[in-house]
């Protein structure tokens, strides 16, 4: 197998990795905010459920979560798993990262002085208006560095999709390396990940600079 063929196959695998990455962010970022709000709720039942959810997601390996989510419909309800592999990957990644993002959001929200809530109330803002117009813009600025770190970790974690036999980039690299008895495909995959992470870090840094208003 020549070098151009190897790079073509790795590029196709990279597209799958990027798809997992983007869909995970699309679902986990807003879900994480909802979980954070539930975690901070004065309702002890809701808060307790969210605490338990976060503890489970952060306390067990993502690899195990992938397996459980993929096979649960079959063992619990006898459902056919055909076509469920990729959705299971997205679900597992999303609920896992939502737990981490939830704690990041919570730290950002709790960092906002209580006086801002009181000032907004005096000005006639509702709780919803206060949160989305005053609090949330500040929270985003505070939590962005932590979210950037988790986002970079997500790029590398996409390789865990191999657990469900999803052919993303690293899985393809391992297959080619085994077939050709060469580490070159693995080195090329490492380069792909480095470039991908560099782009992600660059974009997040630009966003941070845009928000650096003081």
Tens-digit pLDDT profile for residues 113-151: 888 888 888 888 888 888 888 888 888 888 998 999 999
How many structural domains compose the chain? 1
- Alpha carbon 173 to chain centroid, angstroms: 23
Q: Which domain holds residue 162?
A: 3-211
Task: Render the burial of 27-40: b for 16+ CB within 10 Å, e for the rest.
Answer: bbbebbbebbbbbe
CB distance 171 to 162 below 8 Å? yes
Yes or no: say if 17 and 168 are a contact pair by the CB < 8 Å rule: yes
pLDDT tier, 162 (very low <50, low <70, confident <90, very high otherwise): confident
> Which burial class, exposed, middle or buried, applies to 46 when counting CB atoms under 10 A from its CB (0-12, 13-18, 19+)?
middle
Determine the average pLDDT of the residues in 184-208: 86
Residue 6: pLDDT band by 50, 70, 90 thresholds?
Answer: confident
How crowded is residue 51: how many other Cβ atoms within 10 Å of its Cβ?
13
The pLDDT score that the predictor gives to residue 2 is 63
CATH at residue 118: 1.10.3720.10
């Amino acid at each position: 197998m020549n070098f151009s063929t190897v790079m073509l196959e790795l590029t196709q695998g990279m597209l799958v990795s990027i798809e997992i990455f983007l869909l995970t962010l699309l679902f986990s970022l807003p879900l994480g905010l909802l979980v954070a709000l539930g975690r901070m709720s004065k309702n002890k039942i809701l808060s307790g459920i969210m605490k338990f959810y976060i503890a489970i997601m952060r306390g067990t390996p993502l690899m195990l979560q992938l397996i459980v989510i993929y096979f649960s419909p079959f063992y619990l309800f006898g459902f056919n798993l055909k076509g469920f592999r990729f959705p299971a990957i997205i679900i597992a990644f999303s609920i896992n990262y939502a737990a981490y993002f939830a704690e990041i959001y919570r730290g950002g929200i709790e960092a906002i002085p209580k006086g801002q809530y009181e000032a907004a109330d005096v000005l006639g803002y509702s709780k919803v208006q206060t949160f989305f117009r005053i609090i949330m813009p500040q929270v985003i600025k505070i939590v962005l560095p932590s979210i950037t770190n988790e986002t970079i970790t997500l790029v590398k974690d996409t390789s865990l999709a191999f657990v469900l036999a999803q052919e993303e980039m690293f899985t393809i690299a391992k297959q080619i390396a085994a077939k050709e008895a060469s580490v070159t495909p693995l080195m090329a995959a490492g380069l792909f990940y480095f470039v991908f992470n560099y782009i992600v870090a660059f974009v997040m840094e630009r966003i941070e600079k845009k928000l650096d208003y003081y």
